Amino acid sequence: MLDLSFVAKNFDTVVARLEARGGKLDLSRFKALFAERKRLHVELEATQARKNKAQEVMKTDASKRAELGPEMKQLGQVIKDLEGQLKALEDQLGGLMMNTPNVPHESVPVGASEADNQVARTFGQKPTFTFTPRQHFEVGEKLGMLDFERAAKVSGSRFAFSLGALARLERALTAFMIDEHSKKGYLEVLPPYLVSRQSMTGTGQLPKFEDDAFKTAGDNELFLIPTAEVPVTNFHADEILEGALPKKYCAFSPCFRAEAGSAGKDTRGLIRMHQFHKVELVMFARPDQSMEALEQLTADAASILEKLGLHHRVVLLCTGDMGFASTKTYDLEVWLPGQGAYREISSCSCFSDFQARRAKIRFRPAPGEKPQLLHTLNGSGLAVGRTVVAILENFQREDGTVKLPDVLVPYMGGLTELKPLG
RNA sequence: GGACAGAUGGCCGAGUGGUCGAAGGCACCUGACUCGAAAUCAGGCAUACCGGUAACGGUAUCGUAGGUUCGAAUCCUACUCUGUCCGCCA
């Protein structure tokens, strides 16, 4: 959520920068609502002050109580009315702001769609093949290790069974990623996979994107996490962090997404699932250091791809392609030779104080100083399922086997390649 | 699922319907003492908004939402959360 008074003071600038995101956003009511809120607020306070003065008299002079009583009661009613009006206004204003995305950072290129994103850097080169590389689902099915048909029978579309060494590969990748990040000072966290409405609101998934989430039926409403970002960022909700920043966490979790609105997209394979695994990096940083933190976090995520030997590029998203809560985002896009395309495997974002304001996460700049909102960041480090995809497509051989990256061999119990299940 | 207890400032914790924005302690800040530190002593120290250059003044906030009352941290109702015990359970 944006800061109300900041928006009020810099209205034209804020609107201009939000419009760079594209889409429709109507803030025309903002100014009128804000002014009316202020007027009501002043009036309410003046009335309350009058009542408090009279109250003071009654407190010391009991004889006036009977005399002033009825008038006080009436004043009380006026105050209640004003409070009601004020609350209605604040609800409207709040609703407006809850559905308003973050302001893009000045270093973000203005653009309408992913076509306007900028490639910041590239690692490695496209591998060459002496045969036509297959898509990952063909490789997986040929190995007998990937089963979409039975998953459809059991759960429906956008689910998969992994079997044998491929299932193990997913587990190995997870352990590898967490070990690498732990070495760099990220504290491993195993978070809850179900969270409250409040937590989903804190990180910005709600109220605007409720359709994208799975939630439990029944009285105890809980949401299946779409990413570990939600529980791990909210880990520090309503807190004042006293220690050194940035604080760094990494968390493995399954992620659940309804994928409403992506019907027809990536219908084959593991790219877009209702359930997938992800190792997430989360940082809490000082506002004056959050941009450096984003560079660091992005580099830390990319280092996994480097160690796996996967060709990829780092893309700076333009204003039109960023997520709702983000002020600046880098995507890591890995090369998939089977698809002949770069695909997102990690998204690293700085949210400035947008999430911190919603979730009330603050820090104390120095002992004795006032707490202030900090900046939150996160990024995938990496999406595990898509990493499996990348390995299958990049390291496949003509005979259908797949060479495993050297760094994973210890995690695979010495296994160096995937061979068809016998 | 059943029974009971609780929710107060950064933390702990006291609190009688008006004298409570709230005792006391810890932490923190400033000063004194000291070569320096510790200890000790003195003072300061909640947040947000409004007005004011400022000093300062005003308003709200004691889990959340309501209610009673001229007046609520204090009484009533509902809700949420936490703790303890019992049951069930990986």
Catalytic-role residue among A326, A347, A352, A380: A347
Nearest to A139 by CA among A162, A156, A121: A162
| Strand B interface, A 64-93, C-beta < 7 A | 65, 68-69, 72-73, 76, 80, 87
User: Would you give the DSSP letter of residue A264?
Assistant: T
Instruction: Please tell me whether any atom of strand B lies within 7 Å of the Cβ of A397.
Output: no
Which amino acid is present at A218? G
Beta pairing, strands A118-123 & A312-316: antiparallel
Chain center to CA of A401: 36
Length of chain A: 422
Instruction: Please tell me whether any atom of strand B lies within 7 Å of the Cβ of A24.
Output: no
Can you tell me the distance from the alpha carbon of A374 to that of A114, in angstroms, rounded to the nearest whole number? 29
CA of A338 to C1' of B5 (A): 63
Phi and psi for A403 in degrees, rounded to 5? -80, 135
Nearest to A279 by CA among A257, A300, A260: A300
Spans of all domains in chain A: 4-97, 114-418
Give nearest nucleotide to A220 (CA–C1'): B80
A166, A168, A171, A176 alpha-carbon torsion, rounded to 10°? -90
| Lookup result for tokens 């193990």 | A168
Can you tell me the distance from the alpha carbon of A294 to that of A285, in angstroms, rounded to the nearest whole number? 9
Catalytic-role residue among A37, A257, A358, A362: A257
Give nearest nucleotide to A75 (CA–C1'): B70
Which tokens sit at A97?
């702001």
The interface predicted TM-score of the complex, written ipTM, equals 0.87
Are A343 and A305 within 8 A, CB to CB? Answer: no
Can you tell me the distance from the alpha carbon of A7 to that of A31, in angstroms, rounded to the nearest whole number? 9
- In our burial notation (b when 16+ CB lie closer than 10 A, e otherwise), range A6-36 reads ebeeeeeebeebbebbeeeeebeebeebbee
Q: Homologous superfamily of A114-418 in CATH?
A: Bira Bifunctional Protein; Domain 2 (3.30.930.10)
Return the SS3 of A332: strand
Fold of A4-97: Helix Hairpins (1.10.287)
Give nearest nucleotide to A45 (CA–C1'): B59
Which tokens sit at A151?
């998953």
Per-residue pLDDT tens listing for chain A (422 residues) = 899 888 998 999 999 999 999 877 788 889 999 999 999 999 999 999 999 888 888 877 767 777 777 788 888 889 989 998 998 888 888 888 888 999 999 999 999 999 999 999 999 999 999 999 999 999 999 999 999 999 999 999 999 999 999 999 999 999 999 999 999 999 999 999 999 888 999 999 988 899 999 988 877 788 999 999 999 999 998 888 888 899 999 999 999 999 888 888 898 999 999 999 999 999 999 999 999 999 999 999 999 999 999 999 999 999 999 999 999 999 999 999 999 999 999 999 999 999 999 998 999 888 778 889 999 999 999 999 999 999 999 999 999 999 999 999 999 999 999 999 97
Nearest to A336 by CA among A266, A415, A261: A266
Instruction: Please tell me whether any atom of strand B lies within 7 Å of the Cβ of A243.
Output: no
Q: The whole model's pTM is what?
A: 0.93
CA of A366 to C1' of B29 (A): 11
Are A285 and A314 within 8 A, CB to CB? Answer: no
Identify the residue whose Cα has the smallest distance to the C1' of B59: A45
Catalytic residue flag (residue A37): no
Are A326 and A349 within 8 A, CB to CB? Answer: yes
| Strand B interface, A 85-144, C-beta < 7 A | 87
CA of A151 to C1' of B87 (A): 38
